[in-house]
């Protein structure tokens, strides 16, 4: 009758089966003790009972909270060593210098409300005894004055102008380098360690623009940045002979999308959002006088330690399904974010292809929205290629029988061929809803479902057709799927699919483009 332990409910039948097997065995001279099994109803607090730790898990944070807000509210319990923000989960980890300080925080939070940035937060011990730092130089006492900024959900372009406007009012910025190989990251070198500490506390977890471009900040490994040129992706602010000018004048990007959201409200990024370097409840508040005019600098000379990444109009895509992905399907997916010139699969690296796009900013958009998404059960890795053009060499046959190389420069399906055409595009991240258009009026919901079945892709769960004029030759509407992954697969296969009408000789191209949709939204 001794309690030896507990088993999960889902393992109950397996344990009973094994006990019955043992009971039925004939064991000479041995007896089998009776094993009694009971279902126990655990109290809610039992499931959250974790041994004390200097690391505290904080839940229930408001969306605008930053690292400085946590320090303001929790430093009364004891010295804080480190903070890790989890902004999209509205959670954070706070590492105290001692277990006693963490115990005071958890105990106080259980007895009375503790407010962080005006909202009640909830506390428990973390299962970790120490927050894992991403680099060896994460200790501010090491003298590191360079911060690593990861921009999450970057729906708007991130340039040196944007980061300078956000960071410099808090601490003097010397150099900025932006990287776009795996998502959007940047390194910002400040004048002193104290400036870097202050900036990390004020900006870690903040949104650059309302609801997006969220900053996650750590201490970087390099202690100095090497900038070889001044442009949208790198800048050295230590050079003399400053020449003031209007923002972006003289170095405006040549892409269809502008340099700052306020300058391209009609090009697919939607209405402009205000720049929000700090939430209103932060300890470091800014006024209009705190944000300096943008300045230009002469081309700096090379320095030491770290250099900027050279931009390219070629993206490298790995993690492609060997039998379900080909050049056309890559085009169907990537054409939403820029013109596609050429696509080539690499024979020496299976599951990898090079995609030459119209310009380097199209590559940036593709990385921002398509990196790490799942297509046919495999997660894509999209990064900037070292090559600056796709050369049609070593052409071979893919598993589906199609060519490993295809030129799309002259196709009518490119959507950014002119400024007018590009302004109609909706630049959005993948979602569970597809917008279809250019479909003949005789095509019904059942026809589209049958099309999905015939091409072995998931069917939609909700269907909506927009009202069209009686004289309209095509129709459009929305298709909602169970998940974002399903919608991406359908777009990859059926985008630009030609629907032929038996009574007519003409063919229709069925275009699908992604629209923005939240998790709870429906057609």
pLDDT for the residue 104: 93
Strands of 34-135, DSSP E: 55-59, 80-86, 91-96, 114-116, 119-125
pLDDT for the residue 195: 92
pLDDT for the residue 350: 92
- The tokens describing 492, both together, are 């990859």
pLDDT for the residue 174: 92
Q: Starting at the earlier edge strand, list the strands of the sheet with 507-514.
A: 462-465, 475-480, 433-439, 507-514, 497-500
pLDDT along the chain (523 residues), means of 10: 50 51 45 49 50 91 83 90 81 91 92 89 90 58 79 81 90 89 84 91 86 85 85 78 37 31 38 38 42 34 40 90 95 92 93 92 87 92 89 90 93 85 79 89 89 93 88 88 94 88 61 41 45
Cα separation of 144 and 513, whole Å? 45
pLDDT for the residue 290: 41
Answer for the pair 241, 298: CB distance below 8 angstroms, yes or no: yes
CA dihedral sign, ordered 90, 94, 100, 101: negative
Q: How far is CA 165 from CA 29, 161, 284, in A?
A: 83, 6, 14
Instruction: Enter the pTM of the model.
Output: 0.49
pLDDT for the residue 330: 96
pLDDT for the residue 30: 47
Mutual angle of helices 360-370 and 327-334, in 10-degree steps: 90
pLDDT for the residue 270: 35
pLDDT for the residue 304: 38
- Which distant-in-sequence residues (6+ apart) come within 8 Å of 179 by Cβ? 185, 186, 187, 308, 309
């Amino acid at each position: 009758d001794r309690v030896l332990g507990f088993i999960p409910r889902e393992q109950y039948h397996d344990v009973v089966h094994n006990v019955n097997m043992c009971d039925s065995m004939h064991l000479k001279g041995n007896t089998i003790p009776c094993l009694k099994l009971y279902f126990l109803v655990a109290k809610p607090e039992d499931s959250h009972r974790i041994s004390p730790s200097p690391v505290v898990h904080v839940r229930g944070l408001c969306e605008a909270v930053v690292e400085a807000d946590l320090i303001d509210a929790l430093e009364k319990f004891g010295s804080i060593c480190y903070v890790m923000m989890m902004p999209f989960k509205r959670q954070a980890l706070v590492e105290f210098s001692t277990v006693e300080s963490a115990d005071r925080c958890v105990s106080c939070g259980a007895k009375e409300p503790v407010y962080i940035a005006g909202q009640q937060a909830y506390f428990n011990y973390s299962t970790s005894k120490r927050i894992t730092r991403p680099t060896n130089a994460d200790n501010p006492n090491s003298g590191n004055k360079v911060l690593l900024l990861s921009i999450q959900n970057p729906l708007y372009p991130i340039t040196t102008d944007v980061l300078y406007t956000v960071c410099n009012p808090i601490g003097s910025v010397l150099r900025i380098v932006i990287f776009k190989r795996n998502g959007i990251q940047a390194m910002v070198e400040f004048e002193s360690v104290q400036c870097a500490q202050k900036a990390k506390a004020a900006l870690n977890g903040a949104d650059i623009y309302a609801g997006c471009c969220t900053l996650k900040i750590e201490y970087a490994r390099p202690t100095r940045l090497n900038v070889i040129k001044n442009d949208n992706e790198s800048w050295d602010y230590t050079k003399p002979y400053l020449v003031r000018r209007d923002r972006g004048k003289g170095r405006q990007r040549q892409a269809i999308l502008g340099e700052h959201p306020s300058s391209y409200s009609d090009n697919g990024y939607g209405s402009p959002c205000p720049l929000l370097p700090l939430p209103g409840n932060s300890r470091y508040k800014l006024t209009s006088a705190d944000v300096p005019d943008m300045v230009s600098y002469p081309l700096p000379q090379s320095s030491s330690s770290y250099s900027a990444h050279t931009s390219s109009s070629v993206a490298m895509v790995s993690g492609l399904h060997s039998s379900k992905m080909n050049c056309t399907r890559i085009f169907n997916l990537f054409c939403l974010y820029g013109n596609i010139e050429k696509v080539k699969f690499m024979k020496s690296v299976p599951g990898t292809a090079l995609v030459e796009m119209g310009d380097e900013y199209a590559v940036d958009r593709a990385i921002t929205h398509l990196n790490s998404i799942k297509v046919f059960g495999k997660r894509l890795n999209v990064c900037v290629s070292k090559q600056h053009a796709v050369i049609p060499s070593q052409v071979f046959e893919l598993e589906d029988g199609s060519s490993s190389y295809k030129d799309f420069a002259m196709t009518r399906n490119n959507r950014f061929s002119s400024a007018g055409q590009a302004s109609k595009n909706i630049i959005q991240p993948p979602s569970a809803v597809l917008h279809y258009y250019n479909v003949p009026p005789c095509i019904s919901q059942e026809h589209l479902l049958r099309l999905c079945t015939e091409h072995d892709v998931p069917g939609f769960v909700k269907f909506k057709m927009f009202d069209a004029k009686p004289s309209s030759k095509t129709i459009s509407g929305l298709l909602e799927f169970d998940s974002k992954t399903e919608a991406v697969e359908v777009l990859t296969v059926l985008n630009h699919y030609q629907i032929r009408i038996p009574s007519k000789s003409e063919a229709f191209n069925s275009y699908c483009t992604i629209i923005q949709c939240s998790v709870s939204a429906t057609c």
